Amino acid sequence: MTSHTGRLYVLACGLATFFLVWALVAAHPWGTARADARVAALSTREARLRHEAVIVRQLVAQRWKTYRVQLRLRRSQIAAARSLSASSAAAAVRVVNLPPLTITRTS
């Protein structure tokens, strides 16, 4: 081939073909996707954490329920003590008058 233009076309097509084949080989379209061990470990950890979160939510709900019951009982005890002390406080008050305080100096 003595044509200078023909040689340039052949070279351009050869380079284009080379880079196209290189891109296809680098992409591995025929290879099977292997599961990454890190992704599997991450999904296992996520499942375990979700399970633990459910258990923690149940535990917190149970503790709040117990707290509310105890709080209701304590408030009723406080109300009963206030009503009892209000009625007995009027009868139990005693006023004491002391003699005037005398101050003596020793110097």
Q: What is the mean pLDDT of residues 56-77?
A: 97
The values of phi and psi at residue 104, to 5°, are -110, 140
- Domain boundaries, given as residue ranges, for the chain: 4-29+36-87
Task: Convert the pLDDT of each residue in 11-59 to its tens digit.
Answer: 999 999 999 999 988 887 776 667 788 988 999 999 999 999 999 999 9
Decide if pLDDT at 71 tops 80: yes
Average pLDDT, the chain: 87
The predicted structure's pLDDT at residue 27:
82
